[in-house]
Every structure is written in C-alpha cells, then in structure tokens.
Amino acid sequence: MRKHPWMIAVPVLVIVLAVAAALAGCGGDSTTTTTAAPVTETTADGGSMVDAAALYSANCESCHGADGSGTIGPDLRTEDNAAAIATQIEQGGGSMPAFADQLSTDEISALADFVVGLE
Ligand code: HEC
C-alpha cells in the first residue's frame, strides 16, 4: 500500500518554512539596526553627539559663508549671544528660514555655540 504523498510533503514543507523563518529572524537583527543620520548620532548611553561644524556647513554655510563672514546672510563672526542665535535659528527672521522643524534643540544649541566660536 502506497502512502499518501502529502504525508511526507507537509512535514518537509513545515521544516523548510521553519528554517527559512529562523534564518530570516537572524538576518533581521542586523538589517533592522537603525542608521543614524550622518551628522547626529545618539550614543549608547542616550547622550547626544552633535557635529556642529557639519550642521553648519549643511544648513548655514550657503548664506553665511564657510567662515561665517556672510554672503546672503550677515557676518556671524561678531555674534556672541548664544540664546539670541538659538532663537534666530529656531524661528528664522528676515529672509532667513526657521530651522525648528529640521533641527533638534540639541542641534540648535550646538550650532549656537558653534556660531559664538566663529571669529
Ligand atoms: C537662506 C539663507 C540663510 C540660511 C540658510 C541661514 N541664514 Fe541665518 N540669516 C540669513 C539672513 C538673510 C539673516 C538676516 C535676517 C534679518 O534680516 O533679520 C540671517 C540672520 C542670522 C543671524 C542673526 C544675525 C544678526 O546679525 O542679526 C544668525 C545668528 C544666523 N542667521 C545664524 C544662522 C545659522 C546658524 C544658520 C544655519 C542653521 C543660518 N543662519 C542659516 C540668511 C540665512
């Protein structure tokens, strides 16, 4: 008497699916690791590491110049009030766009410190 072919096919299929799922699960661990944005990285302890110089060249340089001496926007080298600079970055003003939607408060305060340091 011949066995029904599905009695072999079903267990084999189950094993194949289980192995595939296990492999997919393992692979998933490495592929689901979120890649931090290039200029901002969150450290393992939850602290944040902001590369203000990179943020400046990405967001501000086009209007304020690489050295802060100004092109479309004014010279920033004389700016030394971090709170006022942070407000300007956050809200914009005149023909400068607001950055509140694009930059985190950490990034804005790091940029404000960076601008204070420009000379
Ligand atoms: C699209 C061009 C543009 C970009 C991009 C830009 N700014 Fe400005 N920024 C200006 C202009 C124009 C002003 C003058 C605003 C005004 O007339 O009140 C200004 C003013 C400022 C001021 C106040 C200076 C002063 O003398 O009153 C600061 C500080 C400043 N910008 C910093 C930044 C920083 C930091 C960035 C990047 C996050 C940035 N800006 C991006 C155009 C720009």
Give 61-73 pLDDT, tens digit per residue. Answer: 999 999 999 999 9
The DSSP symbol for 46 reads S
pLDDT reading at 84 higher than 90 = yes
Number of domains in the chain: 1
Q: Is residue 23 part of a domain?
A: yes
Helix (H, G, I), strand (E, B) or coil at 72: coil
CB atoms within 10 A of CB 9: 10
Evaluate whether 101 touches 59 at the Cβ level (below 8 Å).
Answer: no
Mean pLDDT of 50-54: 95
Domain CATH number, residue 35: 1.10.760.10
Q: Is residue 48 part of a domain?
A: yes
Mean pLDDT of 37-60: 75
Q: Is residue 1 part of a domain?
A: no
Q: How far apart are CA 80 and CA 114, in angstroms?
A: 10
Closest CA to 112 of 88, 95, 94: 88
pTM of the model as a whole:
0.71
Domain that holds residue 110: 6-116
User: If you take atom 43 of ligand 1, which residue's CA is the nearest one?
Assistant: 96
Q: Is residue 17 part of a domain?
A: yes
97 lines ligand 1 (CB under 6 A): yes
Tens-place pLDDT, residues 34-46: 544 555 555 555 5
Q: Is residue 53 part of a domain?
A: yes
pLDDT reading at 94 higher than 60 = yes
CA of 36 to the centre of ligand 1 (A): 27
118 lines ligand 1 (CB under 6 A): no
